[in-house]
Structure 1
């Protein structure tokens, strides 16, 4: 894909949002020590953000329905900047929570509208690749940004990373202002029409698949560190390396998934889901061997994030007559799956099973959308044969 300043600005915005969402995970001990609270209490700054995204995505999208898309994206970047600045200045834990909720207002609508804008800036046969470019910022934030913010926080306190993210938010707003063309809403978003389209069966099915694929991913991802510790006995440094390897796989997979989805959404989804199921079964068998495990985790990260632009495009196409709300709600669906994946993995351990069983349960979760896709395809072929 040729250099596109607008896509670069959108990617920078998604990178800043990724840092905002994930950086606190590595800063929890520093935050807890500074504010005099427990680690679980500090963890609420992560939970508040995740659930905030799920709750606020549809409300913000509908409220801003008549605003030009370029102006909305700039406003969201400025709101993100203000929220992170409030976090920097937070005198207490309660104010920090408010700051996290404020920043959560941005993510669902930014990614939902940003994906639509990205797709509108390129020819139809490159739209999934453009959506993947927007989400690339999120994967880069996981690979490089979060470890860097964690390192910075350990040596300078948790407020300094938030200062850096605040500055990036301001740069993102300026880049979006300069790079995006004026994109009017063509009469505004019709809330009733958007809700009606989102409640149609194909759109709800696509959103449900997003939840399930995200759940399958985070069933494993949430427990990667303790899984490696308990099965391979690796050091903390090696776990960090493993997470970087997973992040690199996500970055590669996000790009390749977007290109493959431009050729065929259905084939990309089926092949990726089948590959994930086979790989997760293999992962269970090799978990005691470090090198094969790291190799499979790299491929696993790639396959998981190949699904991200693919699922986003599936929702956008299912809701093509009124895609704005559905596209934003799909980001909330990703976050809902994140939380559910942690619950599923925890339930496996609480039931008395060991860490090697988690990949098998994840494979079972991925099998649900795969069965749905195959059944849907078989139904479509039967109908075509009947009327053809």
Structure 2
């Protein structure tokens, strides 16, 4: 499949209720995006509040960092497991359950009396993350015409990208002036708003004919699903290799003051939003061209990042453009949905498992080159290599696809 206008899988066809008005569709997408905003805020706010969490529980900051890993592990585990177990649930019901679990997990996280229980609750809170985004993407795509599917998915993902720019700073500020527990209560409140909006605006739907756990698990029998998963897990790792250490790159390599870290982070967030909007339009014209083009772009960009990281102006430019690399995310999400055929829910959800694997892989390899004495700027070389490997896997996927078509 070379573009988004090709035939859709049956499970991703437009909804039977053709009476949905543009306003209703917009309200549904808004409801789904609010959930993405809540998840994004909750996932990233903890990074700025680690010192407060550590002080509250009497642990070191590296030990407190385990809660980030616990959440990521919850995402990786929860996405495929929930998608398979919930195969016979209507999508509206599943979305309500997932966001309720997320909101409840954040409330209990805010009330956790001990560090061990807090860590366990972050794992539980991460479980619905991937499944929510996967199902939300399917719902958004089902309401859009074939040539606008990626833009519909991107509008849901906009909640996540806006969270990096707006939600996370607000939650971090609230946590610093009141308590880190207040920040989690704020995230829970946004999650509850999402539940109410979905309950009000998303029409009831019927379970797809023949839906079952066995059919969903059948996605793992398809080579293209594994290849698309690998593209995301490897190719996106470069972005996280740079982003995980961007604060130290800003101060130690570029020689900027600590106050400029917030500016650099804001540039990254702006880049993600620009990439999400522009990339979705590109992908609706050429899905595979957008994926391959952005991976190739990242290979070059991230190498330039390493060479020029000592220059503040180039650092600003490269960080913004690295954020723009998010442009490939809605495209890869849509491709996974396409190649999964009738196992839509599991395939869509596993995209976010892959995203968190990329997070862990990029951060780990970035740390390896830093520990080896190459400096924080060298994380760009790691990103360039990971992007190149992701591109190789993607080209293999396209070659296999064309051979099968013949």
**TM-score normalised to structure 1 length:** 0.94
Structure 1 segments unaligned to the other structure (5+ residues): none
The equivalent residue for 1:307 is 328
Measured in 2, the distance between the counterparts of 1:48 and 1:360 equals 28
Deviation at 1:377, TM superposition (A): 4.4
Deviation at 1:14, TM superposition (A): 0.7
Measured in 1, the distance between the counterparts of 2:131 and 2:210 equals 15
2:381 matched to 1:360? yes
1:131-150 pair list within 5 angstroms:
131-150=153-172
The equivalent residue for 2:372 is 351
The equivalent residue for 2:8 is none
The equivalent residue for 2:315 is 293
Determine if contact 1:62/1:189 at 8 Å carries over to the other structure: no
Deviation string 1:122-166 (CA, Å, 9 cap, x unpaired) is 111111111111111111111111111111111111111111111
Pick from 123, 132, 142 the counterpart of residue 120 of structure 1.
142
Determine if contact 2:147/2:284 at 8 Å carries over to the other structure: yes
Measured in 2, the distance between the counterparts of 1:233 and 1:195 equals 50
Q: Structure 1 residues 43 and 383, CA, compared in 2 at 3 Å: closer, same or farther?
A: closer
Answer with 109-118 or 273-282: which moved more.
Answer: 273-282
Structure 2 segments unaligned to the other structure (5+ residues): 1-21
The equivalent residue for 1:327 is 348
The equivalent residue for 2:17 is none
CA RMSD across the alignment? 1.7
Answer with 333-342 or 371-380: which moved more.
Answer: 371-380
2:261 matched to 1:239? yes
The equivalent residue for 1:84 is 106
The equivalent residue for 1:23 is 45
Determine if contact 1:246/1:298 at 8 Å carries over to the other structure: yes
Deviation at 1:253, TM superposition (A): 0.3
The equivalent residue for 2:97 is 75
Q: Structure 1 residues 56 and 382, CA, compared in 2 at 3 Å: closer, same or farther?
A: closer
Determine if contact 1:65/1:188 at 8 Å carries over to the other structure: no
For these two proteins, the number of residue pairs brought into alignment is: 383
Pick from 89, 95, 109 the counterpart of residue 117 of structure 2.
95
Deviation string 1:66-106 (CA, Å, 9 cap, x unpaired) is 11101110111111111111112222212212321221121
1:208-247 pair list within 5 angstroms:
208-247=230-269
Q: Structure 1 residues 316 and 219, CA, compared in 2 at 3 Å: closer, same or farther?
A: same
Q: Structure 1 residues 326 and 173, CA, compared in 2 at 3 Å: closer, same or farther?
A: same
Deviation at 1:198, TM superposition (A): 2.4
The equivalent residue for 2:11 is none
Deviation at 1:262, TM superposition (A): 0.9
